[in-house]
Structure 1
Amino acid sequence: MSFRCCSLFVISFPVAAQTEQALYTAIGLLSIALALAAISIFRLKSRLSKLLQAYKAAEKAVLGFYALHDDISGFPNKFFLQQQLDKLLKKAPEQSFSLLLMKISQFDKVNHLLGHSNSNLVLAQIAQRINEQLKTADEALTFEFRKQAPVRLCHLGGVDFAVWIACNDKPNLAEYLADNLEKTVPEPMIVHGCAIDYQLHSGIAHYPQHGTQLSELLERAYLALQHHSWLQGQSQVFSADMLHYSTDKLTLMAELRQAIEQQQLALYVQPQVDMQSREVLAGEVFVRWRHPSRGLMTPDSFLALAEETGVIYPLTQWVLTEAIATIAQLDKAGLEGKIAVNISSQDLLQDELIDSLDILFAKYNVKPQQLILEIKEGAFAARPSQSISMMQRLHKMGVELMLDDFGTGLSSLSHLRQLPVQSVKVDCSFINDLHKSDIHTAITGAIIDMARNLGLGVIAEGVEEKEVEQKLLRMGCNRGQGFLYSRPFELSGFAVWLKHWQQQQHTKLR
């Protein structure tokens, strides 16, 4: 029994030893594997940490780019411009600079036609065109380089862009660049078979004359841009005079330009009558504006502003066209009559006035003698020699000239003898109370005598009562205009009114 146990013991001993040795080996291998795994995990963790850092750095760079660039065009934005100016003006605070502001007009039509996504592509292309035109403008601030090409355009947002220009020895450089960009950039784009038209308008503010802060310069450059785009002939450069015009007034003048094109205007006429023979000698026209939201507007609401802002000339051209066309209609109807049109001092300074009248007379087969131009005394105050020269050319052409509101100012008295006018109009302020005031009677009598001594005809404006008419006739004034004869009515009814008036007078004579 003991023998068997001993035998078993002898036999099992080497097996246990081998198992233990294998176990130690396995544990060693496992330890090595765990160590290698730990090393790998550490290395992986280190690599992941580096990748995470690189990702964060890249994300930060991307976020930094978009923080300083417009997300539609990719060009530097207002924040980028402000950063650059802060650095630049600290280094060179005494230098002169210009802020050139540009705006794409009529872009809302592009949005409507192409949709938001496509219009964004067009906007980016326009921005690229502008920047391409600036590649030779070394005086413009360079924000960065892309493919070795300078980026000099700032996208302020929407359809507004800006360029910052050093102009120490070139004070008119910004204007030159603005004119060039307005002419060369707006080439039609073909998108999905559609030709996309647009315009570029600009405004300029100078540092430090017009401001030292970017916000102030942008505000004044935008005001200059409004004047330049809405008022033809207005310079792109800001001036203090622009501060006098509110946005409402500028909007009104922009709407007036559209009104001329969209036939929102109408002409009213008031007859001028020979107070003795009752013959209608002419009809003076007055413009009315049928504004879509403001209603019917009289000349007092917009004419003075139109003259100040330079919109008066296209308005006068429209009035002249309508007036001369009406004269032709009267001729066809067998009715004799002249049309009187008021023109401003600004109209007299337009050299093309003569040529435009020549074209209209030829187009409608109307004689120049059938047109009367009424000119206020104040028209000669600013540039008397140039104004008188234009009047002499009009007189030579055959147009009848009348001095309007005569007696209300003294500016033209020194020029009266050399003015080629055929008649004067006594202002209604003297006529209204003629029969009630001795002073008005004396002044009106002196004006009539002065005009007659100079060989000029006299017309009284504002005749409303028969008593006033009779007093004017005794003073030697034969022509009158006022409510006594007719209130202003639409010019389209002038021919009918004339026939009716002639019939009435013929009946009275019987």
Structure 2
Amino acid sequence: MSFRLYGIALFSTPLAAQTEGSPLPVISLLSGLLLLSFIYLIKLQFDLHKQKKFNHTAQQSSLGFYALHDDISGFPNKFFLQQQLDELLQRKPEQQFSLLLIKIYQFEKINQLLGHANSNLILAQIAQRINDQLKTVDDALSFEFRQQVPVRLCHLGGVDFAVWISRSNHQNLAEFVADNLEKNIPEAMIVHGCIVDYKLHSGIAHYPEHSTEFSELLDRAYLALQNHTMLPGHSQVFSAQMLNYSKDKLTLMAQLRQAITDQQLSLYVQPQVDMRTKEVLAAEVYVRWRHPIRGLMAPSSFLALAEEAGVIYPLTQWVLNEAIAMIATLDKAGLVSKIAVNISSQDLLNDELVDSLELLFAQHNVKPKLLVLEITEGAFAAEPETSLSMMRRLHQLGVGLALDDFGTGLSSLAYLRKLPVQQVKVDCSFINDLHKSDTQSAITSALIDMARNLDIGVIAKGVEEIDVEQKLLRIGCNRGQGFLYSRPFELSGFVVWLKQWQKNHVITQ
């Protein structure tokens, strides 16, 4: 508008007042055009500078968002949490807080079956579910608001999340929130027709009792989470004893290496029975550690340590040698029974496994089909293709393969088709109350039907009552293992036990 008005004023001199032949009109016209051009260029440069500044500000804002938020879930990240805590603790250094750490348990199985794209979508949905539950926790730190809804969850990376909670109104609020999340959040999802189950585990560290440094507080919350996970029923709150437990664990790791060479290990065995004929079909072995100070230790006390210490493979080799030697002993006694051995995911990744088995079979003159290797579904999580390749090699060798704890992971028909297994073992968590719960009965029946549709045998673990045995037979499961037949006993006594069993039970065909 200013340019237009200026132009009218500049060229409004009456023509009659202009001297004929005078250069003034031309000069005035040129001067006006030059002036207009000059002003236009100045304004254009100003507008460009303004736009450039706006774009730079927007870009900085966008970069700032991504620097402080996780690129998968979109939730505030660890840096955002640290930034907020630095400001908060400067204002309220005397106040008490809790750092609540939340981990999605066994999420690697979801990655394995559904791929990273779908897994990222599920991860973001779980994060949103957790944050929705936190809307009513007013003492939890709010990082920002989205559509007037507070964002109180921080994504530390991977499958780890954190919540910062004030304890000024309720000393045990973090524990209450953790229990509520673990109980209410893990609702199954359906993705591409596949039911996705997951669990949440938690760990808590208190400020300032456990530390005043964020990094140390986080480490102690992780330690509390590990303790809560490995020792169910124990508090998820950090305590000084957990540090002692960690030192104790390191000591045990060193002792375990020596235990293998010092013959401190022994094998126990539990038979598997045909529930119709009462014939003993196989027996599963369990390793025990006769610790010189701690006494007899169960596998749950040291197998995880063996994996962490990198001694699981020599431990497995010791178990395999003892198991195959027992098969040879049974054969010499005129008795037939397969021996089942559990192996870990690390064993499946060791290229030497097949070669070592061939040597053991030749050394003891044992047929490979008399050995059964039991593998859990979780063993395929780290490197599924490598693990599957090893299973195929073992199958070609003639070794029997069984999938342990069937039903506790992401079981599906498509998944089972890929595995060269001849048997699945239904977890005892499904068997214990089979005759008391219609829901348990329906779930167990579905698992058995799934396996039978693929012509895979089924073994029920944890059979302790005759009513359970009869229920299993009615729904199509003929093979059982549990206290109803025998508690675990030393492998060295298996020959005597088997002869006595056959004497007391007339095997019907």
TM-score normalised to the size of structure 1?
A: 0.51
Which structure has more relative contact order (CA 8 Å, sep 6+)? It is: 2
Whether the aligned pair in 1 keeps the contact of 2:372 and 2:401 (CA below 8 Å) is: yes
Tell me what 1:198 maps to: none
CA contact 1:340–1:374 (8 Å) conserved in 2: yes
Look up the match of 2:417.
417
- Tell me the residue number matched to 1:450: 450
Counterpart of 1:270 in structure 2 is: 270
Moved more, 409-418 or 448-457: 409-418
CA RMSD of aligned residues (A): 1.8
Is the CA contact 2:267–2:490 (under 8 Å) kept in the aligned structure 1? Answer: yes
Q: Please tell me whether residue 377 in structure 1 is matched to residue 377 in structure 2.
A: yes
Q: Secondary structure at the match of 1:506?
A: coil
State the 1:439 CA deviation.
Answer: 1.3
Q: Structure 1, residues 305-336: CA drift from partner, whole Å, max 9, x if none?
A: 22233221111000000000000000000000
Distance between the aligned counterparts of 1:303 and 1:333, measured in 2? 32
CA shift, 1:437, in A, is: 1.3
How many residues in Structure 1 have an aligned counterpart in Structure 2? 267
CA contact (8 A) 1:403 1:424 kept: yes
- Residues 441-497 of structure 1: per-residue CA shift (max 9 Å, x gap): 111000000000011000000000000000000010000000000000000000000
User: Secondary structure at 1:421's aligned position in 2?
Assistant: coil
- What is residue 463 of structure 1 aligned with on the other side? 463
1:481-500 alignment, distance < 5 Å: 481-500=481-500
1:285 corresponds to: 285
Contact kept? 2:277, 2:508, Cα under 8 Å = no
Matched-pair contact (CA < 8 Å) for 1:380–1:412: no
2:250 is aligned with what amino acid?
A: L
List per-residue Cα deviations over 1:382-423 (Å, max 9, x = no partner): 110000000000000000000000000106765311100001
* Matched residue, 2:354: 354
CA distance in 2, matches of 1:347, 1:412: 24
For residues 85-135 of structure 1, what are the alpha-carbon distances to aligned partners after superposition, in whole Å with 9 as ceiling and x for unaligned? xxxxxxxxxxxxxxxxxxxxxxxxxxxxxxxxxxxxxxxxxxxxxxxxxxx
- Tell me if the contact between 1:380 and 1:411 (Cα under 8 Å) persists in the aligned partners: no
Which residue in 1 is equivalent to 2:503?
Answer: 503
Give the direction of change, closer, same or farther, for the CA distance of 1:244–1:305 in structure 2 (3 Å limit). farther
* CA deviation string 1:365-387 (max 9, x = no partner): 00000000000000111110000
Give the residue type in structure 1 aligned to 2:253.
M
Alignment correspondent of 2:302: 302
Considering only CA atoms, is the larger Rg found in Structure 1 or Structure 2?
1
Superposed displacement of residue 273, structure 1:
0.3
Partner in structure 1 of residue 313 of structure 2: 313
Q: AA paired with 1:250?
A: L
Measure how far apart 1:251 and its partner are. Answer: 1.6
SS of 2:290's equivalent? strand
Determine the structure 2 residue equivalent to 1:429.
429
Helix, strand or coil: the match of 2:486?
A: coil
Q: Deviations over 1:124-167 (max 9, x none)?
A: xxxxxxxxxxxxxxxxxxxxxxxxxxxxxxxxxxxxxxxxxxxx
Structure 1 residues 476 and 507: alpha-carbon distance in aligned structure 2, compared to 1, 3 A threshold: closer
Question: How far apart, CA to CA, are the structure 2 residues paired with 1:315 and 1:499?
Answer: 30
Q: 1:103-502 alignment to 2 at 5 Å?
A: 246-410=246-410, 414-502=414-502
Question: Do the aligned residues in 1 keep the contact of 2:281 with 2:337 (CA within 8 Å)?
Answer: yes
Q: Does the C-alpha gap of structure 1 residues 411 and 433 become closer, same or farther in structure 2, counting only changes over 3 Å?
A: closer
Residue identity in the other structure for 2:269: V
Separation (CA, whole Å) in 2 of partners of 1:455 and 1:282: 19
SS at match of 2:505: helix
Q: 1:412 to 1:449 in 2, by over 3 A?
A: closer
Query: Which letter does structure 2 place at the counterpart of 1:306?
Result: A
SS of 1:458's equivalent? strand
Deviation at 1:506, TM superposition (A): 2.6
In 2, Cα distance between equivalents of 1:315 and 1:321? 10
* Structure 1, unaligned runs of 5 or more: 1-242
Say which SS state the counterpart of residue 433 (structure 1) adopts. coil
Aligned-partner Cα distance in 1 for 2:276–2:508: 13
Checking the alignment, whether the CA contact within 8 Å between 1:463 and 1:481 is kept in structure 2 is yes
Change (3 A) 1:318 1:424: same
Q: Which amino acid aligns with 1:355?
A: D
The aligned amino acid for 1:424 is V
For 1:305 and 1:357, the matched residues in 2 are separated by 24
Q: 1:276 to 1:307 in 2, by over 3 A?
A: same
Identical pairs, percent: 76
Instruction: Give me the whole-angstrom Cα distance separating, in 2, the residues matched to 1:348 and 1:244.
Output: 33
CA contact 2:422–2:457 (8 Å) conserved in 1: yes
Q: Is the 8 A contact 1:381 1:411 kept in 2?
A: no
Q: Residue 288 of structure 1 aligns to which amino acid in structure 2? A: R
Q: Distance in 2 between matches of 1:352 and 1:244?
A: 37
SS of alignment partner, residue 341 of structure 2: strand
CA distance in 1 between counterparts of 2:420 and 2:366 reads 21
Q: Distance in 2 between matches of 1:453 and 1:462?
A: 23
Check the 8 A contact 1:425/1:460 in 2, yes or no. yes
TM-score (norm 2): 0.51
> Once the two structures are superposed, what CA deviation does each residue of 1:157-178 show, in whole Å capped at 9, x if it has no partner?
xxxxxxxxxxxxxxxxxxxxxx
- Confirm or deny: 8 A CA contact 1:283 1:340 kept in the other structure: yes
Asked if the contact 2:462–2:482 (Cα under 8 Å) also holds between the matched residues in 1, the reply is yes
- Structure 1 counterpart SS, 2:249: helix
Separation in 2 of the partners of 1:331 and 1:262? 28
Aligned letter for 1:375? I
**1:247 CA drift (Å):** 2.9
SS at match of 1:382: coil
Which amino acid counterpart does residue 388 of structure 1 have in structure 2? Answer: L
Amino acid at match of 2:475: M
Note the alpha carbon deviations across 1:263-289, whole angstroms, 9 max, x for none: 101100000000001000000000111
SS in 1 for 2:484: coil
Contact 2:278 2:507 (C-alpha < 8 Å) held by counterparts: no
Q: CA deviation at 1:507?
A: 8.9
